[in-house]
Structure 1
Amino acid sequence: MVSKKKTQGRQKIEIKKIENKNSSQVTFSKRRTGLFKKACELSVLCDVEVATIVFSNNNKAFCFGHPSIENVLHRYLHNSSSSSLLSFSSSSISRVSDASVLEEFNREYMEAVKELEEKKKALNMEDFQHSSQPWWEYINVDFGMELEELVHMKIALEELRKKVLAKVKDRQDHELMIMANNNTNSDGFMATAQLPLNSTM
């Protein structure tokens, strides 16, 4: 009988201050990136506005925000009644924010949004293929559509209507032609059947 090697399993990391300066900087960089990614995921999954600000030991600020750090802070300060918060202006955030980090995570956010929209379209198409409802029931014009998108949809639907009407007319003309040919053949057969036969007697 082979005995299994016993392991300690997953160990819980003790949360305490990292005394080594180099290790602290590495951990700060990794954890900060992970924090920003989580904030990005939250904004995509829940369709919410997010602002995250982290200050290093050197008093350097790293920021991530959607749609932008300034927009979220303006909204927060506008809804806050604290006078101390009002002195924390967006201009100070602009000075301390790391533009390269913000740009990178905003780029990742836009890619995540695009991927999410593609997955939504794929799911909607799958639902449509397995549903007896007409396709236009899946178009929700009351949510998430800008005026420009509605105008483009209106133009597209008008063009679709023209094509459908033209197709219906072609089908109707084709059916009428077939019916006319059938009637002609039927009348010709009946006329031939009524002709007197020549007697050879």
Structure 2
Amino acid sequence: MGRRKIEMKMVKDSNSRQVTFSKRRSGIFKKAHELATLCAAQIAIVVFSPGGKPFSFGHPSVEPVVERFLNDKGKKSTKVYNFCRSEARLEKLNNQLLDLQRQLQLEKKKEQLLQKAMKANEIPNLEPLDEMSVDKLLKFKKALEELREKMKARVVEMEASSSLLLLSKNYACMDEDEIISKNSFRKWR
């Protein structure tokens, strides 16, 4: 079932109206974020749900955009002017923040993988690294190096088994004449 055209009129059922509001609200906030990112625009959106609950989106935030709208009647206030001058710096900081958030997510995934590996090897939970003594850190380093070696050996083992599996599949797909001709070719070489 694909998308279908929805007639633009008020949804009668209150439950359907609330669901439609939630979906459309997230969509319009997403589009506003895209517009702000692509065009370096300052955006503020305030929406009230059918139940009267307010929702807002603003880039960089709602307050400065609303303040600019209310105070700027054809004149540029110094506060807004200074804000506009630092817009490039703000964009750079936003990009740095996004990069740091990506790195943080990667580190969290690594932590989860390490904890799974530690549980599999029955290694007890460790204290934070900055609280460990030098001896404990050296032991931990040695354990990690051993784990790396075991993982390398496992990778080699898996590659070998996958190669054998591929060879066996190729051999199974050949008919009798092909097998005989290949074997006779090897004899005469």
Give TM-score scaled by structure 2 length: 0.38
In our comparison, the structure showing a higher alpha carbon Rg is 1
Higher relative contact order (CA 8 A, sep 6+): 1
Greater helix percent: which structure?
2
